[in-house]
Chains A and B, each alone.
Chain A
């Protein structure tokens, strides 16, 4: 961990001005994320985990502090398509087929047709959607739609994936399955992943580090190392080591959150 971090935030704050006065969405965030890490941001709603991800993606502007992505400002990084972003919903365009949806960022980038076709085919296969290229989004299940949106993010071939509760809207069985697939994908592609979730098992199962956040103002409460090894079957969730880390995350969430309101 001696090399330069991919994402580096120091003293980062973001205050939204609303009619009811300022809302401190982020307060004094200090966080370094290194290449190849899988970092989960976990916390209750309102803790600023999604806002932090959006600041990294240059979808929100911080009001104080500094942040660099690949040593650049988030704006420059976005202009260079440094990351792929996966939203809470698949956000596929209903007028495009699955293949055309996955190829959307490549069209924006102006990639030549043959290369774009190769990437579309490859990434659709990677998320196990081969054979569904010509379908329209509404003809697919929610889990398949979200897989297509992951393929779309991967088609950019970014070094970094930013994922905002990508499986939050799916049922638990589909979610387990996609977690397993995502882990395999991460092991295969060696990408840096920043993953927002409010599920403790999901965070522990996937991450190398878990950032526990707490609300009002949104801040980092604790950072927990969590390395269960490269090969993690779903059953690892029954082991004592898994339970111990999950308990640690739960304690951190409880300590950071005052339940008296």
Chain B
């Protein structure tokens, strides 16, 4: 065991000393808690200075620094908006230790390290996300930023837990009905049209310029028209999603069908393969990376389209409806809850598509192992 100085831990120690000199943290009493927090942080900083960094040591200083920062957040209770510089010094010390933790976990500075494994590959981004929430919470509550401007994540979390039935109903209305239906129908129609346009050239010549024009249509413009055509409920939102997803899929699939090489196509000709045989055996497999590109673009477009379309007339359920009405009622925590839901759903949607892509195009140079 020896001391391995690193700038994060050393700076953290300096900040802890400064925080100790500048106590108290807030206007509320709580000297014992403050001393406990600083003591935990100091222990963590010392543990972060010891080399070699065994997994036990890393776990110790990780747990200590995060325990300290949660106590620090707890010390804000009843004293919002009164945080003094010593509070921010302690916060910065904890943040530096969190930084050190991620540095050690990523294997930075170690020669020949082969990148993080599967578990660490999840832990590191999770820590990053956690720290965004911690800093958000600490600054918003410490500085007493008005609720309407930016609610703290804890309030958003409470709102999510308290409104699960509403969120579930909105998810069901917007995602399971409008987004999924629109995405599947729009993408499938774009794909099948691409197959036809590839077979009969006049279709491609005529459709692509129109497609570019439709892609340029503002969603704000077509959404109210779809509501007039298909009514207030989800079919009008699905129609918006279909319009938005059809042409990206058409264009990407057509592009992909041109991706196979001339030699490969000549090869199929020497076998006297029919159009459909060379389509299914050569050109569609070669087009898969392009097709998945279109699907991934469409997954985001579908979410945006369905949510925005709900701003233009809807039954009293749906993510876009909720956002537009709760903004009017200054219930910003509910708006943020819907945003969080949309972010999670959108990421999962994209992630599932990316996973399927990896499995089906395992042969592609970017995935080869």
**Can you name the residue of chain B whose Cβ is closest to the Cβ of A153?**
B270
Pick the residue among A78, A85, A94 that contacts B267 (CB under 8 A): A85
On whether the beta carbons of B277 and A94 are closer than 8 Å, the reply is: no
Interchain CB contact under 8 A, B363 and A81:
no
Q: Does A79 contact B (CB under 8 A)?
A: yes
Once the chains bind, are A93 and B285 in contact (CB under 8 Å)? yes
Which residues on the B side are within 8 Å of A80 (C-beta)? 272
- Find chain B residues with CB under 8 A from A61 CB: none
Report whether A59 and B273 are in contact in the complex, using a CB–CB cutoff of 8 Å: no
Q: How far is the CA of A85 from the CA of B266 in the complex (A)?
A: 9
> For residue B273, which residue of chain A has the nearest CB?
A108
Q: Is B271 an interface residue (CB 8 A)?
A: yes
Q: Is A83 an interface residue (CB 8 A)?
A: yes
Contact A91 B267 (CB under 8 A): yes
In the complex, residue of chain B having the shortest beta-carbon distance to the beta carbon of A110: B277
- Tell me how far the C-beta of A142 lies from the nearest C-beta in chain B, rounded to whole angstroms: 15
Q: Is the CB of B269 within 8 A of A138?
A: no
Tell whether, in the assembled complex, residue A95 and residue B285 are in contact, meaning their CB atoms are under 8 Å apart: yes
Q: A169 within 8 Å of B by Cβ?
A: no
Question: Known: A93-B264, A94-B363. Is A78-B269 also a contact (CB below 8 A)?
Answer: yes
Q: Say which residue of B272, B277, B281 sits within 8 Å of A81 (CB atoms).
A: B272
Is the CB–CB distance between B282 and A78 below 8 Å?
no
In the bound assembly, the distance between CA atoms of A141 and B272 in angstroms comes to 29
Contact status of A87 and B285, CB under 8 A, knowing A94-B363, A95-B363: no
- Chain A residues with Cβ below 8 Å from B282 are 93
| Per-position 1/0 for B266-309, Cβ under 8 A of A | 11111111000100011001001000000000000000000000
Nearest Cβ on chain B to A76's Cβ, whole angstroms: 10
- Contacting residues of chain B (90-138) with chain A, CB-CB under 8 angstroms: none
On whether A91 and B263 interact (CB within 8 A), knowing A78-B270, A108-B268, A109-B271, the answer reads yes
With CB as the reference atom, state the residue of chain B lying closest to A79.
B272
- Closest residue to B368 on the A side, CB-wise? A138
Residues of B within 8 Å of A83, CB to CB, are: 270
Tell whether, in the assembled complex, residue B263 and residue A59 are in contact, meaning their CB atoms are under 8 Å apart: no
- Which chain A residue lies CB-closest to B360? A95
Docked CA distance A93–B285 (Å): 9
By the criterion CB–CB under 8 Å, are A136 and B363 in contact?
yes
Complex partner residue of A85 from B261, B264, B270, B365, CB under 8 angstroms: B270
Within 8 Å of chain A (Cβ to Cβ): is B364?
yes
Q: Mark A102-123, 1 if CB is under 8 A from B, else 0.
A: 0011011100000000000000
Q: Which of A56-102 contact B (CB under 8 A)?
A: 57-59, 78-81, 83-85, 87-89, 91, 93-95
Max chain A Cβ within 10 angstroms of own Cβ: one of B263, B271, B273, B361 = B271
The residue that A105 contacts in the complex, of B266, B271, B285, with Cβ under 8 A, is: B271
Kindly list chain A residues whose C-beta atoms are within 8 Å of the C-beta of B269: 58-59, 78
Q: Could you say which residues of chain A place their CB within 8 Å of the CB of B368?
A: 138
Residues from chain B with Cβ under 8 Å of A104 in the complex: 271, 281
Give the residues in chain A near B261, CB-CB below 8 Å. 91
Query: How far, in whole Å, are A14 and B364 apart by their CA atoms in the complex?
Result: 38
A156 in the interface, Cβ–Cβ < 8 Å? Answer: yes
> B362: shortest Cβ distance to chain A, in Å?
8
Chain A's nearest CB lies how many Å from the CB of B329?
A: 54
Determine the distance from Cα of A180 to Cα of B272 in the docked complex, in whole angstroms. Answer: 31
Q: Interface 1/0s, chain B 327-369, versus A by CB < 8 A?
A: 0000000000000000000000000000000000101110010
B277 and A108 contacting across the interface, CB-CB below 8 Å: yes
> What residue in chain B is nearest A109 (Cβ atoms)?
B271
Please indicate the chain A residues that have their CB under 8 angstroms from the CB of B271 in the complex.
Answer: 81, 104-105, 108-109, 156
Residues of A within 8 A of B361 (CB): 95
Most buried by A among B264, B270, B277, B288: B270
Bitwise, A180-203 to B at CB < 8 A (1) or not (0) is 000000000000000000000000
Residue of A nearest to B274 (CB): A108
B277 and A87: CB pair below 8 A?
Answer: no
- Distance of A145 from chain B, by nearest CB (Å): 13
CB nearest neighbor in B for A81: B272
Q: Which residues of B contact A108 (CB under 8 A)?
A: 268, 271-273, 277, 281
Task: Compute how far the CA of A78 lies from the CA of B270 in the bound complex, rounded to whole angstroms.
Answer: 6
| Complex: A3 Cα to B271 Cα, angstroms | 28
How far apart sit A58 and B266, CA to CA, in the bound complex (Å)?
10
Return chain B residues, CB-CB under 8 Å to A138.
363, 365, 368
Question: In angstroms, how far is the closest chain A Cβ from the Cβ of B268?
Answer: 7
CB neighbours of A89 from chain B (8 A): 263
Which residues from A are CB-within-8-Å of B263?
Answer: 87-89, 91
Interface residues of A, Cβ cutoff 8 Å to B: 57-59, 78-81, 83-85, 87-89, 91, 93-95, 104-105, 107-109, 136, 138, 156
- What would 18 A/B residue contacts be, using CB atoms closer than 8 Å? A58-B269, A59-B266, A59-B269, A78-B269, A78-B270, A81-B272, A85-B266, A85-B267, A91-B261, A91-B264, A93-B264, A95-B361, A104-B271, A104-B281, A108-B268, A108-B271, A108-B281, A138-B365
Q: Which 8 A-B pairs have the closest CB atoms?
A: A94-B363, A95-B363, A85-B270, A108-B271, A105-B271, A108-B273, A91-B263, A95-B285
B residues touching A (Cβ–Cβ < 8 Å)? 261, 263-264, 266-273, 277, 281-282, 285, 288, 361, 363-365, 368
Given A87-B266, A108-B273, A108-B281: 6 more A-B contacts, CB < 8 Å = A57-B270, A80-B272, A85-B266, A95-B288, A95-B361, A107-B281
